[in-house]
Amino acid sequence: APHPSRSGRAQPKVGAEARKKQKPGRLGKRAPSVASPEAQGIGAAPAEGNPVHAGAEQTGAPASMVFNNVAVTLGDVWILLAALKALSLLWLLYFASCTTRHPHAVLYHDPHAGPIWVRGSLVLFGSCTICLNVFRVGYDVSHIHCKSQLELIFPVIEIIFLGVQTWVLWKHCKDCVQVRTNLTRCGLMLTLATDLLLWVLAVTNDSMHREIKAELNALMENFSGNDTNTCLCLNATVCEVFQKGYLMLYPFSTEYCLLCCAVLFVMWKNVGRRLAPHTGAHPGTPPFHLHGAIFGPLLGLLALVAGVCVFVLFQIEASGPTIARQYFALYYAFYVAVLPAMSLACLAGTAIHGLEERELDTLKNPTRSLDVVLLMGAALGQMGIAYFSIVAIVATRPHELLNRLILAYSLLLILQHIVQNLFIIEGLHRRPLWEMAPEGPAGKQEAEPPRRGSLLELGQDLRRAPLAYIHSYSHLNWKRRALKEISLFLILCNITLWMMPAFGIHPEFENGLEQDFYGYQTWFTIVNFGLPLGVFYRMHSVGGLVEVYLEA
């Protein structure tokens, strides 16, 4: 999961700082019993006044004490989210069963909205998120002897909401609704806000992970002979399955929420939109084929295999008490090797775009505009972390080997984000070849003044025009093939760089360099907000690169 505190190493420090800030009168205060697992803090039930319980609860139960002295517990947050999910669910059902079935509700379909990779990702990530909530229900049931039965309501509501939302977005993501536009816009914004709040909570709240870690630590204390009142699972084997499944599927939940926000925003932009007759039909996107691409997939697979090896080695080492410095060096060396290759590929692709004769697509396209905004906005996450790392390294010990690797990694990461955004945005603004063919020489032939001649000569001229078009573009075959090679290589590399931080490998937080320079709380905030954006950027880049590949 994209949370730097999943390893649990820095958690005692969190508790210590929370105990210092805690008021004496609030010692041992608990969240309401109707709260979710997150509201229970670490899931423990020690005696009142226990400082360990107080520190853990101050980091787990209160969700906000920034502007007042009254703690807003995560139980309150989950009750609010349950109400928002219920309202959004009612609107989704009304939209699918009433609004879209109106005789003149959907007269146009946006051909660029909801491509197959977006809808496929919705189904994949939505299924994983539903499975995550199933594991969460199982985890709560296994602790039902020491938790409130009302806690089961929250994941059940979310499962229903996720299923209905995925079905509605799959079926109606291309619709340009023409009736009940105000109600439709309000409903879309309500659902978008609900998904965005779910993402924010998933990013900022890590108490479920700490609950699992606390239970594992309590088991170790029991084995060592120390007594504890922690709420333990009745069946250790079943609970371990639920825990591993929850942690494994957690990254897909955050990706699903952001993807739904993007699709809902495009639907909101399309409400009341009227398209020209020739844009109402999809131009017929060609299927995904390799088209003889060899070097790009091979190099991408090589990077993927190397990334998996580095990921496994680092995760095995991270399971121990400490992480040796050579494993940090291995991680950053992998990035230092991959990022320059990706940057060079992006620069080459951008240069090839400049040599192409395809016209720029200047038509209004909300989907493409959103893709550009998301690419540039999500890139700020990792670029921000890299910038603060550069400042910390230059100000402390820039001459050590590991620090040099981190410095090179940070600089290359910023460069790679910039050139990759340029390559993807340039590719998205080029007109696909299958859309240009009707406007080639055949279109020019129709615009010429009529000439005297027989019907046979006219037919030969019309047949000659597409052949001339194909012949002129056959000379650009090497450019299109190079673009496809580059796109496939970047797709596999971005999948590799998405996998490594998404499933728990966070050397930015574990190496301790930036943490010592900025302090725990400051660096925790930077990483906890930057890493999820970086994870989303890699997955969104994959989608943009698929579009560039298909349009080449």
Share of the chain above pLDDT 90, in %: 19
- Do 46 and 81 fall into the same domain? no
- Do 424 and 335 fall into the same domain? yes
Residue 462 lies in a domain: no
More confident residue, 346 or 360: 346
CA–CA gap between residue 214 and residue 34 (Å, rounded): 21
pLDDT of residue 455: 46
pLDDT confidence band for 233 (50 / 70 / 90): confident
Distances (CA, A) of 139 to 77, 111, 203, 238, 389: 20, 43, 21, 8, 38
pLDDT of residue 447: 37
**Does 280 have pLDDT greater than 60?**
no
CA–CA gap between residue 402 and residue 62 (Å, rounded): 38
More confident residue, 219 or 298: 298
- Do 227 and 366 fall into the same domain? no
Mean of pLDDT values over 468-497: 75
Q: Of 8-22, 392-406, 492-506, which gets the smallest average pLDDT? A: 8-22
Q: What is the pTM of this model?
A: 0.66
Residue 466 lies in a domain: no
- Do 86 and 196 fall into the same domain? yes
- Do 512 and 419 fall into the same domain? yes
Structural domains in the chain (count): 3
- Do 30 and 115 fall into the same domain? no
Q: Of 244-253, 264-273, 494-503, 539-548, which gets the smallest average pLDDT? A: 244-253
User: pLDDT for 151-183, tens place per residue?
Assistant: 788 889 999 999 999 999 998 888 888 888 899
More confident residue, 436 or 90: 90
**Does 445 have pLDDT greater than 50?**
no
pLDDT of residue 239: 81
CA–CA gap between residue 425 and residue 57 (Å, rounded): 46
Residue 10 lies in a domain: yes
CA–CA gap between residue 289 and residue 309 (Å, rounded): 28
Could you tell me if 307 and 135 are in contact, meaning their C-beta atoms sit under 8 angstroms apart?
no
pLDDT confidence band for 124 (50 / 70 / 90): confident
For residue 348, give the H/E element and its range: helix 325-355
Mean pLDDT of the chain: 73
Residue 447 lies in a domain: no
Range of the domain at 424: 295-435+476-551
- Do 9 and 132 fall into the same domain? no
Mean of pLDDT values over 33-45: 36
**Does 272 have pLDDT greater than 50?**
yes
Mean of pLDDT values over 13-38: 38
CA–CA gap between residue 533 and residue 539 (Å, rounded): 10
Listed residues 213, 245, 279: the one ending a domain: 279
Residue 469 lies in a domain: no
pLDDT of residue 84: 93
* DSSP class of 430: B
- Do 101 and 231 fall into the same domain? yes
Distances (CA, A) of 278 to 106, 275, 437, 447, 550: 16, 8, 14, 18, 21
Residue 450 lies in a domain: no
Mean of pLDDT values over 223-251: 71
Listed residues 238, 253, 279: the one ending a domain: 279
pLDDT of residue 120: 84
